[in-house]
Amino acid sequence: MNPLNSVKGAMTTGFVLAVIVSIALTAATGTGSAFVFDAAHLGRWLHILAGVMWIGLLWYFNVVQTPGLAVAAADKGGPGGAGISKYIAPRALWWFRWAAVATWLTGAYYLMFGFGSADVIHKAFMLQPGFRTIGIGAWLGTIMLVNVWVFIWPNQKKILGIVPASDEQKAAARKTAGMASRINFVLSIPMLMCMGGQSHGLPF
């Protein structure tokens, strides 16, 4: 059976390939333990993977799905957006909300163990010198995580019919979820700048 025929198989293959590449690079350079077996590097790698899933879906919702559903709703002779709402959105939102949790947890793990000192997470969230850039990124990511679980997901459950809601409640839910998602979309831009900046030229 070809593992590339399923999402699970493809993801597993990707992880196995990453381990092989890591071991091969370590053997070739003679530098200690393999990347994927080093706690700090592993935490950073998993943080990046989870973040790509989370922010990728956030951008998909804001750049593709929401505008697309608006066009579908305006097209009276078209197929509408029922298929997206029934089959795509619930699956995308499942990955979206749990990727948000995974991103935050792996980020906290990396702050605690990736800089050689467990008090770095405190220094980052307190915006102390040397950790302000990553600290701002961490605060923005935390605000975005709260938006996902407090505003976006509870209202999406009403929109998608997962929980009972009147037409008026669904309309209000669309407004709240849409605005929270758009705020996260905006926050993701400086957040990504800060996350990358800490180790690439902006360790303020």
Secondary structure string (H, E, C) spanning 28-84: HHCCCCCHHHCHHHHHHHHHHHHHHHHHHHHHHHHHHHHHHHHHHHHCCCCCCCHHH
Quote the pLDDT of residue 191. Answer: 96
Tens-digit pLDDT profile for residues 103-141: 999 999 988 887 767 788 999 999 999 889 999 999 999
194, two tokens: 């800060």
More confident residue, 164 or 117: 164
Confidence of residue 27 (pLDDT cuts 50, 70, 90): confident
Q: Does position 201 have pLDDT exceeding 70, yes or no?
A: no
Using CB atoms within 10 Å of the CB of residue 157, give its burial: 0 to 12 exposed, 13 to 18 middle, 19+ buried: middle
Which residue type does 185 have? F
pTM to 2 decimal places: 0.90
